[in-house]
Amino acid sequence: MKILTCIKQVPGSNNVEVDPVTGVLKRSGVSSKINPYDLYAIEAALALKEQFGGSVDTITMGPPQAKAVIEEAVCMGARQGTVLSDRKFAGADVLATAYTLAQGIRKCGQYDLIICGKQTTDGDTAQVGAEVAEYLGIPNVANVLSVDGYRDGKLQLTVSLDEAVICEEIALPCLISMDSDVNTPRLPSYKVKRTLTDDVIRFLSFADFEDQNPDHYGLSGSATQVERIFPPEKVSEKQTVTGDAETQAQTLFSLLKQRKML
């Protein structure tokens, strides 16, 4: 089974500040890492490869330094990866990102299965996976809890629908987006890291793509108009519930209900 995982480089900490004037994340000087949700996708892909054979490749879009996430995926067990990097891709919303990824994936070859994470920790939109599938013209399933089997060219999946869990079957080629916390991602290997060479990474730019219309990429290709980005207001309210166990439980229940959390 030829598997491709779509991954993204995100800030290494959740405490990244937002520039109050430009509304852009202050990334300079901040460490970076693979989007934690994508680690579940990589783990699912590597487990499938171990079970059914084949290969796992990765793809990402970002500045040249995004190659670090490809290297990390290789240290986890992936074979190789592609970085889609070009100034023309900058400022892309989910639609333009998905289009760019779809263009890149076409250039990388034929894959039986594409696996994405649920969402990213910096954007939180959770739409790229489905849109990539749409652009590639293949079926997709989101919120996958587990891949339970593979027979007759079809995957058997367990999928969360928030209020229900269903079992589905989907024919390859297809795209699936893994839910969060569905596995324990393996750790990157130092042994692989110390032997890494640039051979495992390929860079593709706008010039390599089939569609040469720049209006389909980056800010120009984005349908979303961002008016303002701002950090959520920090509220630190503390209330102590006292009394015996019965009273505490009742008070807590009323409080949660009052705040519409129940």
Binding mask 10-39 for another protein (x = CB under 8 A): --xxx----------------x-x--x--x
Contact (Cβ atoms closer than 8 angstroms) between residue 81 and residue 58: yes
* Contact of 1 with 48, CB cutoff 8 Å: yes
Footprint on residues 35-94 left by another protein (CB under 8 A): 36, 39, 75
Give the interface segment with another protein, choosing from 1-9, 103-111, 191-199, 248-256 (CB under 8 A): 191-199
Distance of alpha carbon 199 from alpha carbon 14, whole angstroms? 32
Question: Which of these segments, 47-55, 99-107, 184-192, 245-253, binds another protein (CB under 8 A)?
Answer: 184-192
174-178 and 140-151 beta bridge pairing: parallel
243 CB contacts (<8 Å, ≥6 apart)? 251
- Counting beta carbons within 10 angstroms of the beta carbon of residue 197, is it exposed (0 to 12), middle (13 to 18) or buried (19 or more)? exposed
For position 193 contacting another protein by CB under 8 A, the verdict is yes
Give whichever of 87 and 193 is closer to another protein, judged by the CB atom.
Answer: 193
The closest alpha carbon to 34, from 58, 10, 3, belongs to: 10
Any contact of residue 189 with another protein (CB under 8 A)?
yes
Q: At its nearest, how many Å lie between another protein and the CB of residue 186?
A: 6
The size of the chain, in residues, is 262
**Which of residues 38 and 112 has its CB atom nearest to another protein in the complex?**
38
Quick check: 19 and 70 in contact, CB under 8 A?
no
Given the complex with another protein, which of 75 and 96 has the nearer CB atom?
75
Contact between 159 and another protein by CB under 8 A: the answer reads no
67 membership: H or E segment, kind and range: helix 67-76
Q: Which of 21, 190, 207, 238 binds another protein (CB under 8 A)?
A: 190
Kindly tell me which residue out of 151, 191, 238, 260 binds another protein, with binding defined by CB under 8 A: 191
Among 16, 106, 188, 208, binds another protein (CB under 8 A): 188
Least distance in angstroms from the C-beta of 2 to another protein: 25
Residue among 79 and 186 whose Cβ is closer to another protein: 186
Q: Which is it for strands 154-160 and 140-151: parallel, antiparallel or unpaired?
A: antiparallel
| Nearest alpha carbon to residue 101 among 53, 153, 74, 66 | 66
Residue 186 interacting with another protein (CB under 8 A) = yes
Contact set with another protein (CB under 8 A): 12-14, 31, 33, 36, 39, 75, 183-191, 193-194
